Amino acid sequence: MTRIVVLGGGFAGVSVARRLEKKLRRDEAEIAIVSRDNFTLFTPMLPEVSSGGLEPRHVATPVRAQLRRTKFVLGEIARVDLAERAVEARHPITGDVTRLEYDHIVLALGSVTSTFGIPGVAEHTLPLKTLEDAETLRNRIIAALEQAVVTPAGPDRDRLLTFAVVGGGYTGCECAGELVDFFHSIVPFYRPLQLGDVRMILIEGGKALLPDLPEKMGRYTTRNLARRGVELVIGDGVTRIDGHTIALQSGRNIPCGTVVWSAGVRPSPVLRELPGCKHARNGGIVVNQDMSVDGQPGVWALGDAAWIPDKPDADLTDKTAWYPATAQHAIREGPALADNIIATLRGKPTKPFHYTSLGTMASLGARRGVAQLPGGFVVTGFLAWVMWRTYYLARLPGLDRQVRVAFDWTLGLIFPRDIAELRLYTERGQLQAQRDAGFVPPGPPA
C-alpha cells in the first residue's frame, strides 16, 4: 500500500489528510500525520486567549477528533531524509523516536516568529504564535500588575505598566485592541492603580497600520485604537530591545516592561536545511503550481511552510506572485494538494492551485473591526466585528469548540476577565507535568 505521511497538524496538514481520507479507498493508501501538538490551533482567536476572553482549550481542536482513519503520531520532527524516504519524530515528553517511511510526504510545518535578527528581540520579547505564547503573555500582564501595586510610583512602576506591541499588521492591531479591553476589565481589581496609569503602545515601522490592506482599513484602525488610548508609533522601526527599553530608528528610547513581537513570521526552521529542495530567502520551500517540489517525486509542501506561485515562472522578489501565508489559503491549498497526490497515484495529471482571496478581516476588540470583502469592498465598525465573529466561529473546527467559544463570548458580556494566574506553561510547569506523567523521577522543585 502507498504510504502518505503529512508533517504538521495545523490548518494545512489536517485539510490534506481529511481530503485524502474522503477520496482514497482504504486499500489504496495508509495515511499518517505527525505533529508536535495533538491539536490544531485556531490562531485567529489567539489574541482573545492572550487577553483572557477565551479559554485556551476552546481554540484547540484535537487532530484525532478531526480525522477518522489517519494514524496520528505525536512528535517533534527530528529528521527528514528525502533520500531514504523516511522521517523521524521525537516524542515531546519521553524523547522516544518513531521512524516512518513514506512514498509521499507533505511538508505542512507552518511558520515561526521572525526576529529579523534585531538584537534583543529573541531574548526580551514575547511572540504570539502558540497557545503557550498566549498564556505566557496573559500571565506576564497579570504578574506586572501584581508587582506594580506594591511598587512605589516612579520610573520602575511606569516601566512595569508600559506594554508594547511591535508590528502593525492585523495580528498586532488585534492584539493591541484586545489588550486594551483586557486592561479595562482587570485594572479595577488592582486598586489604587487607575486605567490611566497603564500605557499601551503599538509600534509599526511602515508608513501606516495594516500596510498590506486598503488604506481605509488602516485609517479606521488608527482612529479606533488611538481613541481607546493606544499610543501609536508609526514609521519608526525597532533597532534594539533590552529588558528595560525599546530603541527606535529615530533615536527615541521607550522604557517598557513587556513587549509583544508580532512583526512577521518565517517558515519552520526544520525545512531550511532540507537538501535537494529550492528555498526562498526566508527558508520556505519553493514549490511548483501544483505544490509538488521540483526534482523530488513524492514531496509536496503547502501552507506557511511553502512558497506557492500563482503563475508559472513567478519571480521570488515579487511578493504579489505568491500566495500569502494565511489560514484562509492553507485550508484551500490542502484539498487541492490531496487531489494532486491522488491524481499522481492514479496516473492522472496534476492541477495547478488557483484561489482568489475572500478578503481579510480583523477584530479590534470593543466590538469593532475592519473587513475587506470580495471585490475590494471595505466594511468597518460594529458590522465588521459581527462579520468577523460569525465567520470565524463558523470556521472553528469542531461543533463542541464552536459552542464553547460562543459561551465564552456570552459570559464575557456579563463577567470581567479572569485574573487567576495559572503557571502551567512555565518550564517548571512542564517539568512538573513530566513528573506527574511518570516520565521524570520525582525530585526537588525546579
Ligand X SMILES: Cc1cc2nc3c(=O)[nH]c(=O)nc-3n(C[C@H](O)[C@H](O)[C@H](O)COP(=O)(O)OP(=O)(O)OC[C@H]3O[C@@H](n4cnc5c(N)ncnc54)[C@H](O)[C@@H]3O)c2cc1C
State the minimum distance, in angstroms, from the CB of residue 327 to ligand X. Answer: 4
How far apart are alpha carbons 65 and 62 in whole angstroms?
5
Nearer to ligand X, 185 or 363 (CB): 363
Q: Is 50 in the site for ligand X (CB under 6 A)?
A: no
Question: Using CB under 6 A, which of 35, 70, 221, 350 touches ligand X?
Answer: 35
String of DSSP letters for 418-435 = P-----TTSHHHHHHHHH
- The window from 11-19, 337-345, 366-374, 427-435 that contacts ligand X (CB under 6 A) reads 11-19
Distances (CA, A) of 347 to 64, 275, 407: 30, 27, 49
- The window from 34-42, 148-156, 231-239, 379-387 that contacts ligand X (CB under 6 A) reads 34-42
- The window from 9-17, 22-30, 241-249, 373-381 that contacts ligand X (CB under 6 A) reads 9-17
Polymer length of the chain:
446
Q: Is 326 in the site for ligand X (CB under 6 A)?
A: yes
Q: Is 257 in the site for ligand X (CB under 6 A)?
A: no
- Angle at which helices 215-227 and 170-186 cross, to 10°: 20
Question: Using CB under 6 A, which of 6, 11, 185, 187 touches ligand X?
Answer: 11
Question: Using CB under 6 A, which of 4, 5, 6, 10 touches ligand X?
Answer: 10
Question: Using CB under 6 A, which of 5, 6, 13, 124 touches ligand X?
Answer: 13
Nearer to ligand X, 179 or 327 (CB): 327
Nearer to ligand X, 111 or 222 (CB): 111
How far apart are alpha carbons 200 and 173 in whole angstroms?
12
Element (H, E) at 441: none
**x/- track of binding to ligand X for residues 271-310 (CB under 6 A):** --------------------------------xxx-----
Nearer to ligand X, 157 or 266 (CB): 266
Q: Tell the residue number behind the cell numbers 513528573, with chain if given.
A: 435
Q: Is 44 in the site for ligand X (CB under 6 A)?
A: yes
Element (H, E) at 110: none
Question: Using CB under 6 A, which of 59, 67, 100, 109 touches ligand X?
Answer: 109
State the minimum distance, in angstroms, from the CB of residue 62 to ligand X. Answer: 11
Q: Is 171 in the site for ligand X (CB under 6 A)?
A: yes
- The window from 4-12, 21-29, 65-73, 416-424 that contacts ligand X (CB under 6 A) reads 4-12
String of DSSP letters for 281-302 = TTSPEE--TTSBPTT-TTEEE-
Q: Is-contact 333 19, C-beta < 8 A? A: no
State the minimum distance, in angstroms, from the CB of residue 193 to ligand X. Answer: 28
Element (H, E) at 127: strand 126-127
Site for ligand X in 327-356 (CB under 6 A): 327-328, 330
Expressed in angstroms, the distance from the first to the final Cα of the chain is: 48
Q: Tell the residue number behind the cell numbers 495559572, with chain if given.
A: 422
State the minimum distance, in angstroms, from the CB of residue 208 to ligand X. Answer: 19
Q: Is-contact 98 252, C-beta < 8 A? A: no
Dihedral of the alpha carbons of 64, 67, 72, 76, in degrees to the nearest 10: -80
Nearer to ligand X, 130 or 432 (CB): 130
Q: Is-contact 114 157, C-beta < 8 A? A: no
β partners of residue 60: 41
Residue nearest to ligand X (CB): 10
Per residue in 367-391, is it b (16+ CB within 10 Å) or e — as a string?
Answer: ebbbbbeeeeebbbeeebbebbbee
Nearer to ligand X, 33 or 118 (CB): 33
Q: Is 128 in the site for ligand X (CB under 6 A)?
A: yes
Element (H, E) at 154: none
